[in-house]
Amino acid sequence: MTKTATKKIAFSFFVFILSYLAAIQFFGESPDAQAYYFFFDDVDFNYSGRFEPLFVWLSVLIKRIVNDFSFFVFLIVFIGLFFKFFVLSKFSNFPFFVFLYLLLLFPVHELTQYRASLALGFLYLALYFLCVEKNKILVFLLFFSAIFLHYSVVAFLPFVLLWRYFSGNGTLKYWQMFFGLLFLFAGKLLIVNYVSELNSTLLSVKNEEPNIFSSRNIILFFILMIGVFNFRNIPKNAKPFFYISCYGFVLWWLFFDIPVFAHRLFEMTFFSYFIWLSFLSGFGLRVCQFLFSILSIYLAYKMIYIDNFFA
């Protein structure tokens, strides 16, 4: 067996174990787990609830193959996690960023927000293929699949359409930026007027009020500033990932008055940090690694032991 084949088997087995632990709720039951359990128990092709159509169809297909909720969670988590770790494996410092992912995002997505977990796997695989200039048809197929797994992914549409501009291969026109901002405000208006009618938690949750001076925001801001000073070290095709990290703050500010959406959209951009940070080196990289490690450990500890999220 070749070294490459051994690595692929080890990689797949690692994702398998993590997906299995998520499926059996080894770390405890998350607040969303029961809602997904009832959804899976009732779902069929006549479903008319708030979940996205592709997620519904995939759920029905899984249910017809194996009518077991744990298997359903396992498969959803495995696919999303496999795609995301595949992308990370293409860049340097892979083990370190997997470690950060497990602390920072695994509890939020793979253990809680199953739709977001799967959709972000498709999204970042599509963005990676844009980065390496793969077939555009495949990119758009993955991206629109992500949208119909979780509508929030539509917020990333400007990056898919204008990737070459963000990568420095074209000049971004003022009218394009204007329509980009108009797109965001229109999206927010749509969410407030329509989506909130389907999912009242967007407007009703009061215990997640955004804090501009939170430890998370401060540390991520400092990491972005280090990125600014090392911007020339990031290759052109990877620069859009840096802009996505910046975009997270824009989304957080725009949806400030809808706390749940502000936090979740912001979290969707965290994965992008791992990609552009892989191109840093020396002191800047070490500082970012230290700051991200402190932040990830703190947020994981807070979620598990202070907020009792998986109680």
Do the Cβ atoms of 59 and 72 come closer than 8 Å?
yes
CA-CA-CA-CA torsion sign (167, 169, 174, 180): negative
pLDDT tens digits, residue range 193-205?
655 554 555 555 4
Give 214's pLDDT tier (boundaries 50, 70, 90): confident
Do the Cβ atoms of 243 and 159 come closer than 8 Å?
yes
Distance CA 43, CA 59 (A): 7
Do the Cβ atoms of 139 and 161 come closer than 8 Å?
no
Q: Where are the domains of the chain?
A: 3-306
Q: What is the predicted pLDDT for the residue at 230?
A: 92
Give 90's pLDDT tier (boundaries 50, 70, 90): very high
Q: Considering the entire predicted model, what is its pTM?
A: 0.90
Give 3's pLDDT tier (boundaries 50, 70, 90): confident
pLDDT tens digits, residue range 61-81?
999 999 999 999 999 999 999
Average model confidence (pLDDT) across the chain: 86
Do the Cβ atoms of 79 and 121 come closer than 8 Å?
yes
pLDDT tens digits, residue range 235-259?
988 899 999 999 999 888 888 877 8
What type of residue is 248?
A: G
pLDDT tens digits, residue range 106-157?
999 999 999 999 999 999 999 999 988 778 899 999 999 999 999 889 889 8
